[in-house]
Amino acid sequence: MSKKILVIHGPNLDQLGKREIDVYGQTTLKDIDQALEEKAKFLGVEIKAVQLSGEGEICKEVGSAKENGFAAILINPAAYTHYSVAVRDAVVGAQLPTVEVHLSNIYAREEFRHKSVIAPVATGQISGFGLNSYLLGLEAVVNLIS
């Protein structure tokens, strides 16, 4: 059986392709998930991608990742990136390699977006490359568990 990677898309990412096109482009969440599935097959891993809007939902999914057989986590915490100590603590508690990804360069946007409370506890962070942030992130977590 191949290794499993949990992919979490945070709040509002289900609206990709409809909202803030100037920031996020026309790529939809479905486009991202399809590209991730193709990349996962190429890399010889399985993924489970979920979009969760609630902070508690994200914490529960991250917190149960290891017991559900996942080897690593790829997460775009979206707005929770900047203030969710709960998601941060869930990442710490998961004890799995975790890569944080963002479609946009959070450091080139509004000042309040320049801080990630997740990055210090994640294995790494990739931002600013649109869909490729996810693909590079998937490759990174696969390399971490190989």
**What single string gives the DSSP state of each residue in 61-98?**
HHHTTTTTTEEEEEEE-GGGGGT-HHHHHHHHHHTS-E
Query: In CATH, what number is assigned to the domain containing residue 35?
Result: 3.40.50.9100
pLDDT at 7 over 70: yes
**Model confidence at 69, in pLDDT bands (50, 70, 90)?**
very high
pLDDT at 98 over 90: yes
pTM of the model: 0.93
82 is in an annotated binding site: yes
104 is in an annotated binding site: yes
Which positions are annotated as active-site residues?
Answer: 24, 102
Number of domains in the chain: 1
127 is in an annotated binding site: no
84 is in an annotated binding site: no
What are the C-alpha distances in Å from 102 to residues 3, 8, 66, 75? Answer: 23, 12, 23, 9
pLDDT at 88 over 70: yes
Query: pLDDT over 70 for what percent of the chain?
Result: 95
pLDDT at 111 over 70: yes
113 is in an annotated binding site: yes
Q: pLDDT (tens digit, 9 = 90+) per residue, 16-46? A: 777 767 666 678 999 999 999 999 999 999 9
For residue 1, what pLDDT is reported? 47
pLDDT at 122 over 90: yes
Query: Is the distance from CB of 130 to CB of 146 less than 8 angstroms?
Result: no
Q: What's the chain's average pLDDT?
A: 93
Query: pLDDT over 90 for what percent of the chain?
Result: 79
Can you tell me the mean pLDDT for 99-121? 88
Structural domain range at position 132: 3-145
Can you tell me the mean pLDDT for 114-125? 95
How many C-beta atoms lie closer than 10 Å to residue 94's C-beta?
Answer: 23
